[in-house]
Amino acid sequence: MTSRKILTIIGARPQFIKASAVSAAIAACPQLTEIVVHTGQHFDANMSDVFFPELGMDKPAYHLAIHGCGHGEMTGRMLIDIEKVMLTEKPDAVLVYGDTNSTLAGALAAAKLHIPVAHVEAGLRSFNMVMPEEINRILTDRVAEWLFTPTSAADQHLLREGVAENRIHQVGDVMFDVALRHGARASAQSDQVRKLDPALQSQAYCLITIHRAENTDNPARMGVIVDALAAFAEQTPVIWPLHPRTRAVFAKQGTLEALARSVTLLNPLGYLDMVYLEKQASLIATDSGGVQKEAFFYRVPCVTLRDETEWTELVEGGWNRVAPPTGAATVLAALRASLGTCGDDIMPYGRGDAAERIVQQLVTDLD
């Protein structure tokens, strides 16, 4: 077989992290070559550049620098520019990850050019169409040729939607691959983590991340989260690496300074810093999909500050508790109730070889 060309589209923090595992597997495969396109959806150094060297990834071949606009404009501009790259590069397949605007734009541009699409993290569903992520993932799954799913639940969702069984490949979760590959290297990398009060790190603390629009765009929900955390912080210190979107909300409200009095606020962290803090946390509270799973990988109880989660096996297994941020008292009760708990001995995310299995499937089918 002559070498087949894979065009990978990434643009947001979790995609850099997921791609690190698959890109490494592609690099180790003589039958495939990879061209990486960074759409620019996430562009701050600490939301993008930091991940490439620390996860052993090359600089993307293309950087489209598309950001700072609404969903329609962002997706539309990505479609235009990604199509141009596809026409130049003429890939044999296009690889997209997760559920962002970059995912949808990459999948749609490829499908229109009749280039087969591989979707990593296919089949996830929140059944909440208000979420932009749900729209992106359903449409991407619809046009994808290969649906690489992380779990049996994801397979079931796709089968129920009528997806042909031979397009569904349950390979496991690539984030588990990344955790196994890089988790042991996790250590304090940045000054902001090295300089954290050593007393704080030796105590029980709660690590929190919030970035989903359903929370950040809703002042009532953000108020509930802040009130619950401020109350919880009286008992257990709280460390919060702020996503730029979340920081912007607090800055606009003028509430950053007050929050910083009860909670330790940090800038977004690199992966190794983040995993370092996750591993030592007594509790993680988040609306992130990836952080929910990492809490489980490192056996830390997790409270999900959303109305639902895609990662239902963690709730069923007793590792995760969903606490919709609709009342501070109930969120506070969930945080307190989760502290010190541990779930069942489950193994829902495969064997840590999802990336190799994806590459093997592509090699077989592109032959």
State how far the Cα of 53 lies from the Cα of 45, in Å rounded to an integer. 12
Determine if 150 is a binding residue for ligand UDP (CB under 6 A): no
291 is an interface residue for ligand UDP by CB under 6 A: yes
Q: Angle, to 10 degrees, between the axis of helix 174-182 and the axis of helix 13-27? A: 80
User: Binders of ligand UDP: how many residues, by CB under 6 A?
Assistant: 18
User: What's the min distance (Å) between Cβ of 257 and ligand UDP?
Assistant: 21
Total residue count of the chain as it appears in this document: 367
Closer CB to ligand UDP, residue 315 or residue 363? 315
338: which residues sit within 8 A by CB, 6+ positions away? Answer: 283, 301, 302, 303, 321
- Beta-carbon neighbour count of residue 201 at 10 Å? 16
Task: Please pick, among 63, 71, 211, 243, the residue that the annotation labels catalytic.
Answer: 211
Residues 6 or more apart whose CB falls under 8 angstroms from that of 123 comprise 141, 147, 149, 150, 151, 153, 154, 155, 156, 157, 158, 168
Interface with ligand UDP includes 17 (CB under 6 A)?
yes
Helix axes 71-89, 101-112, angle to 10 degrees: 50
Among 186, 211, 193, 181, smallest CA distance to 291 is for: 211
Q: Annotated catalytic, 243? A: no
Please say which residue, 92 or 177, places its beta carbon nearer to ligand UDP. 177
Q: Which of residues 176-235 bind ligand UDP (CB under 6 A)?
A: 209, 211
In sequence order, which residues have a C-beta less than 8 Å from that of residue 108 and are 6 or more positions away?
79, 139, 143
Whole-angstrom distance, CA of residue 6 vs CA of residue 93: 5
Binding range to ligand UDP, per CB under 6 A, among 69-77, 158-166, 230-238, 289-297: 289-297
Q: Which of 11-19, 33-41, 52-60, 221-229 is the region at the interface with ligand UDP (rule: CB under 6 A)?
A: 11-19
- Using CB under 6 A as the binding rule, whether residue 5 contacts ligand UDP is answered as no
14 binds ligand UDP (CB under 6 A): yes
Determine the interface stretch with ligand UDP among 54-62, 85-93, 187-195, 287-295 (rule: CB under 6 A): 287-295
91 binds ligand UDP (CB under 6 A): no
Contact residues toward ligand UDP (CB under 6 A) are 13-14, 17, 98, 209, 211, 241, 268-271, 274-275, 288-291, 294
Residues belonging to the active site: 211
